[in-house]
């Protein structure tokens, strides 16, 4: 889920760095600032990790950018391809759970450089089970806490609050080409921690971007 696009990450991209003081204590109420490290252990091997953690958002369908580089296709072209296909896809499949224009956001846990642990984030809403898979047996939703203990702050011992983890910035330009990075590149917007959906028509219109017209069959009485 969290595989990087096939372009190489620029090592001197300062926007992706978070570490300033490896022993910085967590702030109160606000999102955790740079330098907060968390200790957690593998439930299988017992190996203990101590590192910074962050959330990464993966809007439904945005993984198609893994097939491109920023030199091959622009952020604007990616946006148009994506919204034309995905703006109403979930509403058509699950009209009682998604409004027209709503796209599901899958959340992952990783590090500030995107090269640390890569697991689904706990407490995040999952996509419904597709109708084609309902006959394949019970669906087990695994996440970070399936495989690791609950992270504790390396200095204070405070239990990690998942809603206070920073959300990584994404981009689609000559310096970086993150999965789905064209969205923030064009809109300047990124979701709040564990936000379950995004309204692509609202966000696109607010940013002055193309949005597909709302089809009559997608409107509700």
Q: Which tokens sit at 216?
A: 């009559």
Per-residue pLDDT at 215: 78
pLDDT of residue 20: 57
- Model pLDDT, residue 149: 98
d(CA 22, CA 111): 14
Q: Name the pTM for this structure.
A: 0.82
CA angle 205, 207, 212 (to 5 degrees): 35
Which has the closest alpha carbon to 182: 157, 200, 166?
200
- Residues 6+ positions from 159 with CB-CB distance below 8 Å: 150, 151, 152, 153
> What is the pLDDT at residue 131?
55
Question: Over its length of 221 residues, how does the chain's per-residue pLDDT go in tens digits?
Answer: 444 333 334 334 433 445 457 677 776 678 999 999 999 999 999 999 999 999 999 999 999 999 999 999 999 999 999 999 999 999 999 999 999 999 999 999 999 999 888 999 999 998 887 654 445 454 567 999 999 999 999 999 999 999 999 999 999 999 999 999 999 999 999 999 999 999 999 999 999 999 999 876 665 54
CA angle 79/80/85 to nearest 5° reads 100
What's the pLDDT at 15? 38
Domain positions in the chain are: 14-218
pLDDT at 68: 96
Contact at 8 Å (CB) between 214 and 87? no
Structure tokens at 135: 């006959």
């Amino acid at each position: 889920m969290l595989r990087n696009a096939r372009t190489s990450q620029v090592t001197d991209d300062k926007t992706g760095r978070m570490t300033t003081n490896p022993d910085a204590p967590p702030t109160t109420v606000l999102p955790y600032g740079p330098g907060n490290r968390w200790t957690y252990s593998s439930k299988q091997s017992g190996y203990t990790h101590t590192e910074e953690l962050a959330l990464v958002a993966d809007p439904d369908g945005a993984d198609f950018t893994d097939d491109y580089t920023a030199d091959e296709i622009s952020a604007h072209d990616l946006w148009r391809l994506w919204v034309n296909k995905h703006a109403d896809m979930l509403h058509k499949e699950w009209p009682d759970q998604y409004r027209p224009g709503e796209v599901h956001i899958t959340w992952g846990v990783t590090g500030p450089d995107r090269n640390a642990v890569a697991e689904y984030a706990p407490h995040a809403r999952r996509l419904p089970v597709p109708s084609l898979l309902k006959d394949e047996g019970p669906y087990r939703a695994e996440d970070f806490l399936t495989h690791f203990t609950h992270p504790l702050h390396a200095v204070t011992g405070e239990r990690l609050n998942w809603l206070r983890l920073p959300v990584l910035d994404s981009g689609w330009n000559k310096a970086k080409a993150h999965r789905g990075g064209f969205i923030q590149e064009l809109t300047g917007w990124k979701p709040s921690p564990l936000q379950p959906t995004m309204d692509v028509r609202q966000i696109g219109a607010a940013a002055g971007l193309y949005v597909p017209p709302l089809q009559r069959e997608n409107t509700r009485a």
